[in-house]
Amino acid sequence: KAGVTQTPRYLIKTRGQQVTLSCSPISGHRSVSWYQQTPGQGLQFLFEYFSETQRNKGNFPGRFSGRQFSNSRSEMNVSTLELGDSALYLCASSRLREGLYANTGELFFGEGSRLTVL
């Protein structure tokens, strides 16, 4: 069974540009979430999608956006890039299992897209 696929794996942009990252979840998984990982802040939650709808959003500025398509594939976009946006962006998919308050499905992460902003 294929895992979570993220593209591109590496990319370099300059300040002010925008970037789009793609994530293909495991077949059958309808929940996709995105994370930013930096050495200083660790992993931080960006947003979560299910059935093309954003379910939750982390504390990031509006420059960070995402969407999910009918085939569950997801994209995230960062506009007007800043130096501080340099990070590893991770996507995770899960088979949604509703718990008391939130999804308790196991998360399967991709290998990430490493973005460098110059």
60 scored as a contact of other proteins (CB under 8 A): no
Report if residue 99 touches other proteins, rule: CB under 8 A. yes
Q: Which of 24, 31, 33, 93 forms a contact with other proteins (CB under 8 A)? A: 33
Given candidates 51, 56, 71, 116, which one binds other proteins under the rule CB under 8 A?
56
Token digits of residue 50: 């299910």
The DSSP annotation for 27-75 comes to TT--EEEEEEEETTTEEEEEEEEETTEEEEE-S--TTEEEEE-TTS-EE
Residues that bind other proteins (CB under 8 A): 4, 33, 35, 42-45, 48, 56-58, 90, 92, 99-104, 106-112
